Amino acid sequence: MVETCLIFSPHQDDACLACGGAILKKTKKKENIVIINTCNGRNVFLLFFGVKDNPSPKEIEQIRNEEDIKAMNLLGVPKENIIFLGFEDVLMYKQRKNAEEKILELIKKIKPSEVYIPSDIEIHPDHIITSEVVKKCLRKINFKNPVYEYYVWSRSKIKEKKDLITVDISEELDMKKKAIQEYKSQVEIFLPQQKEPVLEKEFINQFYQNKEFFKKIDIFKNENILYKFYKGIKVRFISLLWTKFKI
């Protein structure tokens, strides 16, 4: 039986940014990779630049999905192994119950040998909710296989983390860079209204290094109740701040 590595990506580019080299390492060894994108990423131009049409949020979602398929193909992940759940961008916390049902069903079906999730110290609310929902689903089935967290928006804080796993991606870095460049809507000036890309060069350069960082986590470890409360407030506050009532 072929073992499967399951990677949860809040948005279409997150898994490639944080795990692209590790993904390529695994596919080179003929390991099976499944990517689950939890959110649709459709509101990025509405939130950043106030663009409501030409392209519409629905069109942006399709563009970003196609970019992800192309990027993951470069990393050895076939189209049929990429799942788009389509929860509303920045507002996943409002769809948490539905997300739990769908994700639990997929985990049971895929039966992964290991799981990768975004860290819950991320600033982006969709990253935090994705992390929390996946961990809750894994606990429900008493998942005993390894679970690792990765870092996108919290990458600057990883030096504070203990017991980090460092993966050398020197041989995979060139291809990872090519894969990241497939997310043209995020790394290039994509619309006339833009003066800079959604993801600035300084941010992207963090992922153009020959190392990727992960941490093995204990999903059954009791979480401090005050920290849990803080995360809930943080998610709602940032979601409200980012949307500015536009969505």
Task: Tell me the pLDDT tens digit for each residue of 206-227.
Answer: 999 999 999 999 999 876 666 6
- Burial class for 147, CB neighbours closer than 10 Å (0-12, 13-18, 19+): buried
Structure confidence by residue, pLDDT tens digits, 121-146: 888 889 999 999 999 999 999 999 99
Structure confidence by residue, pLDDT tens digits, 143-162: 999 999 999 988 777 765 67
pLDDT at 60 over 90: yes
| Whether 84 contacts 62, CB under 8 Å | no
Average pLDDT rounded to a whole number, residues 78-83: 98
Please count the structural domains in the chain.
1
State pTM to two decimals. Answer: 0.92
Give the span between the Cα atoms of 126 and 153, in whole angstroms: 11
**Domain residue limits at 146:** 4-243
pLDDT at 163: 87
Task: Categorize the per-residue pLDDT at 230 as very low, low, confident or very high, splitting at 50, 70 and 90.
Answer: low
* Chain mean pLDDT for the chain: 91
| Whether 179 contacts 82, CB under 8 Å | no
- Counting residues of the chain whose pLDDT is more than 70, the rounded percentage is 88
More confident residue, 238 or 208: 208
* Closest to 99 (Cα-Cα) out of 86, 112, 81, 80: 86
pLDDT at 52: 87
CATH number, domain of 90, equals 3.40.50.10320
pLDDT at 229: 56
Average pLDDT rounded to a whole number, residues 100-127: 95
More confident residue, 85 or 244: 85
